[in-house]
Structures are given as structure tokens and as C-alpha cells.
Amino acid sequence: MSAKIHINDLANPVYTESQRAALDYGETLTPDLTPASIMAEAEQKTGLHDWGAMDFMPRLALLCEEWGSDAGLVGLARLTLRNKLLQHATSRLLIRDQFKRHPEIHALRIESPIIVCGLPRSGTTHLLNLMAADSRLRSLPLWESYEPVPLPGEGLLPGGIDQRYQRCASAWEAAQTMTPHMAAMHPMHPNHIHEELELMGPNFGSYNYEWLSYSPRWRDNYYAEDQTSQYEYMRDVLKLLTWQQRGTTRPTRWVLKCPQHLEQLPVLNKIFPDATIAITHRDPVAVIQSSITMLAYVQRMTRREIMTGQLLHYWTDRIRHLLLACTNDRNKLPPERSIDIVFHELINDDVATVERIYRTSGLGMTAQARTELSRFVTDHKDDYGRVAYDLKGQFGTSAEELGKHFEFYYDAFPAVRRER
């Protein structure tokens, strides 16, 4: 049984010497959080200047303005957020250049992907990483999702290590120093199989930015925009990644996942018309308490005050929006290509759950696949510990009160167990 981790200073952090030093250093910085500076630096890094369609500019400007005007952010957070936007801007130039040089990439098809949808903290990450252990399927490791295309002229490090991998590894090492309990909440090591919505980043899209910083204006803009073009962009980057591995034995059938898909099921089905879609279901109360505890913990290194009340309100509303959309649109998915997975069944027998998904997708469970999945389960036993949650003490609410917001969901999916 994993040790329980009690974060007793969630709302009023007690800083280590290294944390305090990092925060103090951040206050000496003045990051230029403007589109012009970010784009200029991306052009300098890549030597490229063709941005393609410029319809991303209002979105980039909104992020810069919302984050730049947030007085609650510490200097270190401003730098981190700018670096994320710079990463996306750099990748946009590189991706655009690849498509110009190799227009044949567009002719590729992403055929019969298996796509996991489900609330964050509902077992989607484990399910994705488990299926990614099957050598017949292609998946997206974190380091590759962050930087889909290497910088011009960038070679391998000694030992054949990709420099993109090394940058991701260094970032994870630094993150564990600043927020050591993150490993127990959401590991982000380079080989961790990540969400494909990261591939919308170079088009400055997706709800991912809401996880990076408190961003209600971004959320409202995301709600107002048709997300079809973002999903098309993401699909095209998947084509590019597939093309980059031509001539290798790497498989071409993708296994993917993202919670955002819950509120974009018709768009997802339109862009991937032959996908098998597996939807995980878990008590949203458990999801919210896990999510806001993680976000509040990270805020010790990003904000001047921990926003426990705002986090509770924001993410209760946000999870409700995801589930309302899922409840409304679930029956629009073809029944022969979709399947519902309840959390407790996944936890009780994850390999059997994968076998159910495979049957739906037309992919048989072979002896080799079963061995690979079983090996993954054995090799990835939880050794980081588990966080103890305290909704009442840390956020001023109870599971019963929080659950009242989701009666519609419990009614629509009665197999979901209430975790109280």
C-alpha cells in the first residue's frame, strides 16, 4: 500500500530554501510577455519567418494580455508561461516549414485510431499508457508532444539522446525540486505518454492553457470558437509525426487521449471518422478534489496567494461543462465504434478493460500484447505515494455538497460509483 502524502500547508505554503531562492530570483526578471517579442525570438531560434495563416494571432494576443495583466502571478510564473508560448511559436514555424518542404505529408491518413476520452484524474492517463505498451500501437511521448520537430541542425547528444528529450528531462528534474509531490499527482517524465492536445499548442488552441494558469477569459474565448480547425491542425501534426518515422518499424495506428474531447465529441468524430472512442467515467467529486488539490499545490510556485476558493468554483463549473456536453453528445457516437468504461472496473482489471476496447476497435488481443500489457502493470506499480484529500478543511466544501452539481451525470451514467 502506497504511503499517504498529507499536504498540510496547501493554502499557506512553507517554502524550502531552494523554493524561496527560485521565487526571489523570479522577482528580478521582467519577461516580455507580448506576441511581438515571442514571435521575434522564435524566428531567431529557427531562422524561419513563414507563420502560415495568421488567424492564431488573436488567440496568442489574448493569452499574452490575460497572463501579462494578472498581478497575482509571480515573476517565475510569467517566465514559465512565456517560455511555453515561445515553445509553441517555435514549433509552429518548424511545422509550417516541414509541410512546405514535403506537401506529400497531407496525403497521409490517420487510420482507425483508438482515442480515450474522460475527465482528468479518471484513469485516462493509466489507460493510455497501458495501451501504449502494446508494440502494435503508436503513442505520443511527452518530449515529442512538446517539440514535434527538432530545431534546424540540431544533432543527437552522446549516447544517441535526442536534445528534445534531454530538455524535457531537465524540466521534469527541476519541477520535482520545486514541487516534489507532483510525481504522486501527475508524473511528467519524458517517456510519459501525453495528450495530443499539446499538438494544438502551435496553433494556440485547446483548453490546455486553463491548466497552466487561471484563465477565465481564455476559457470564454475557447467556448465561443468552433474547435474544428484546432482538431484539423492536431490531426495534421499527427500526420507529420507519422511521416517523420517513415522507413522504420514504428507502428502507424495511434492510441490517443484527452479530457477535452468530452466536450468536443461531434468534432472528434468528424475529424477521425473511423476512430474507436473509449469514454472513461468517474465520480466528478473525486476528479475535482484531485484536480484542485494539484493546482493549488502548484500555485505555491506561481502565485502570490493560493486561490483555493477560486479553484473550487472554476473547476466545479469546468467539469460540469465537460460532463454536460458529454451527456448531450454521447449518443451521437456510432455505437459500434464507442465504449463506456467505469473507473472502478478499470482499476479492478485494467488489462481486461483494454481487451474490451480492443474488441470494439477490431484489434485482437494476442499473447504478445497480453504479455506487454501485463509487464507494464508490473513495472509501473505506484511508488510515489498517494495524496490525502481534505475538501472541507482545504476548500470549505463537502463531497455531498459538491455532488449536488452533478446529479444529471449520475442519472445519465448510473454505473458510476459515488466515491464518498
Mean pLDDT by 10 residues, the chain (420 residues): 85 97 96 98 98 98 98 98 98 98 98 96 92 98 98 94 97 94 88 95 98 98 98 98 92 97 98 98 96 97 98 98 98 97 94 97 97 92 76 97 98 95
Compute the distance between CA of residue 94 and CA of residue 86 in angstroms, rounded to an integer: 12
Distance CA 118, CA 222 (A): 19
Predicted TM-score (pTM) of this structure: 0.96
**pLDDT value of residue 420:** 81
C-alpha cell at 289: 478534489
pLDDT given for residue 184 in this prediction: 85
Residue with cell 474547435: 227
User: Rounded to 5 degrees, what angle do the CA atoms 28, 29, 35 make?
Assistant: 160
Rounded distance, CA 150 to CA 94, Å? 8
For residue 5, the cross-strand partners are: 387
- Reading the block at residue 398, the C-alpha cell is 463537502
CA-to-CA distance for 348 and 8, rounded, in angstroms?
A: 31
- For residue 138 the three cell numbers come to 503508436
Q: What is the pLDDT of residue 380?
A: 81
List phi, psi (to 5°) of 254: -90, 145
Report the sign of the C-alpha dihedral through residues 172, 175, 180, 183, in that order.
negative
Distances (CA, A) of 105 to 101, 109, 242, 243, 268: 10, 9, 9, 6, 21
Which pLDDT belongs to residue 208? Answer: 97
Cell of 358: 480492443
Yes or no: say if 298 and 179 are a contact pair by the CB < 8 Å rule: yes
From residue 165, alpha-carbon distances to 83, 232, 366, 381 in Å are 17, 26, 31, 24
Q: What is the pLDDT of residue 247?
A: 86
3-state SS, residue 42: helix
The CA distance from 288 to 301, in Å, is 21
d(CA 110, CA 107): 10
Within 8 A by CB and 6+ apart from 69, the residues are: none
- Helix spans in 245-349 (H): 265-271, 284-298, 308-329, 343-348
Question: Which domains, from first to last, does the chain contain?
Answer: 4-18+112-412 (3.40.50.300)
Torsion of Cα atoms, 173 then 260 then 63 then 199, to 10°: 60
Q: How many Å apart are CA 379 and CA 366, to the nearest integer?
A: 20
